Amino acid sequence: MKKTTPKKATMVIAQSGGPSMVINESLVGAVLEARKSPRIGRILGARHGILGILGDDYAELRKPSERKLRAVAATPSSALGSCRRKPDAADCRAIFERFRRLGVGYFFYIGGNDSADAARIVAEEAEKEGYPLVVYHIPKTIDNDLRSCDHTPGFGSAARFVASAIKGDDLDNRALGGVKIDIIMGRDAGFLTAASALARREKDDGPHLIYLPEVPFSLDGFVRDVKAAMKKFGRCVCAVSEGIRDKSGTPIAAKFAAGEHDSHGNLQLSGTGALGDYLAAYLKKNAAVKRVRADTFGYLQRSFPGVASETDRREAFAAGQAAVRAALKGDLAKGTIAIVRAKGRAYKVAFVPVPIAEAAKFTRSVPKSFIAVNRHDVTAKFIEYARPIVGDLPPCEIL
């Protein structure tokens, strides 16, 4: 069994977890960077994450023209397909058997914290087995909850969708009145819901109420807040995280959810309008508001074409490039790319290789400094943090 990476090795890259609008930027950034190196031979894109490795299902990524790859980069969702499987030791043995046959020396996995953990498992098992493999995780999650990153590729674009949607919906609510509830993705971290605040420009613009999973949610408090907002603004737009929970930590969605769980054991929150409908019905009954509507932004938040943030696109591409550059240095003690923001006024980031454990397993929540004292809004500090990542929205003007 070889103990070192051969001079010219095959590279495998794959995507895992929920898609995003810019995950293909990371894929293409990595592939185009790899194409430059004489030390990388074949470049294989495994379809549907590690399932593609286990099923020998690959796209040959030296073949497509750069022009085609750049078009793929600008396309939302995971071009190679995705999966949510966490590999065990037996999976890893099967993976290495296949990798050996293909001469794979580099493995890149683009995804969130579950995917980082999958990559960590592969790296650790490879070391145990004595299989010489450089493994790098490339960060991606619209939830913005990786501890290793100031912000994650994918977040800026999903946040841009959310802020744009809230902007339009606030204008709609201005025209017809009543209460509008918008349910926004983010199981444990409220960053995307917080980004709804970027829709505001005028003083009375919505969202008028913002509920994050980081702040315990009570139905009584909700009714009180809505009544107060209706009194103040004559209407009310609420941005509500799908992950809101009561003070015991129980998700509000668990009160009525059919109880479907994904393969990581997480309760299904997206792909259903149940939470919004529940809150709307509760308000109608208890807040004496006649017109209450609820929308659940759902999967459009991560897949809508043409609304990606330019900054997010650029950074996702650069994260892919950085992972390949770090992997070519062969530093096995590192394994993921941290996005580090420079201090100071001008927005600037660096892409720094750090140990994979910093992205795996543990997630990050919206920090207290971003949550307003009234507990149903965000602070100016959050706006300052998020604005350069999300970019300016299309201009809107009212009479």
Q: Which of 244, 294, 324, 338 binds a second copy (CB under 8 A)?
A: 294
List CB contacts of 26: < 8 A, sequence separation 6 or more. 110, 138, 140, 153, 316, 317, 319, 320
CB 172 within 8 A of CB 136: no
User: Can 143 be counted among the known catalytic residues?
Assistant: yes
Q: Which of 143, 145, 205, 312 is catalytic?
A: 143
Q: Which of 10, 26, 82, 113 binds a second copy (CB under 8 A)?
A: 82
Q: Does 293 bind a second copy (CB under 8 A)?
A: yes
Minimum gap (Å) between residue 127 Cβ and a second copy: 30
Minimum gap (Å) between residue 367 Cβ and a second copy: 29
Q: Does 397 bind a second copy (CB under 8 A)?
A: yes
Q: Which of 300, 352, 354, 372 binds a second copy (CB under 8 A)?
A: 300
| C-alpha dist (Å) from residue 241 to 17, 137, 251, 296 | 20, 27, 10, 10
Minimum gap (Å) between residue 126 Cβ and a second copy: 26
Q: Which of 171, 219, 354, 372 binds a second copy (CB under 8 A)?
A: 171
**Residue 136's closest CA among 148, 154, 128, 145?**
148
Minimum gap (Å) between residue 96 Cβ and a second copy: 25
Q: Which of 46, 79, 121, 189 binds a second copy (CB under 8 A)?
A: 79
DSSP state of 375: S
Minimum gap (Å) between residue 315 Cβ and a second copy: 20
DSSP state of 15: E
CA distance 202 to 195: 16
CA distance 338 to 136: 12
Using the rule CB under 8 A, give the single segment among 98-106, 143-151, 186-194, 273-281 that binds a second copy: 273-281
Using the rule CB under 8 A, give the single segment among 76-84, 90-98, 185-193, 353-361 that binds a second copy: 76-84
Using the rule CB under 8 A, give the single segment among 217-225, 265-273, 362-370, 373-381 that binds a second copy: 265-273
**Residue 293's closest CA among 238, 222, 217?**
238
CA distance 214 to 142: 17
| C-alpha dist (Å) from residue 199 to 41, 221, 355, 387 | 47, 24, 36, 10
Residue type, 13: I
Q: Which residue has the tokens 């809004």?
A: 377
Q: Does 124 bind a second copy (CB under 8 A)?
A: no
- Residues lying near a second copy in the complex (CB under 8 A): 15, 18-19, 45, 48, 59, 61, 64, 68, 71-72, 74-84, 164-165, 167-169, 171-172, 174-176, 180, 258, 270-274, 276-277, 280-281, 292-300, 302-307, 393-399
Q: Tell me which residues are annotated as active site.
A: 143
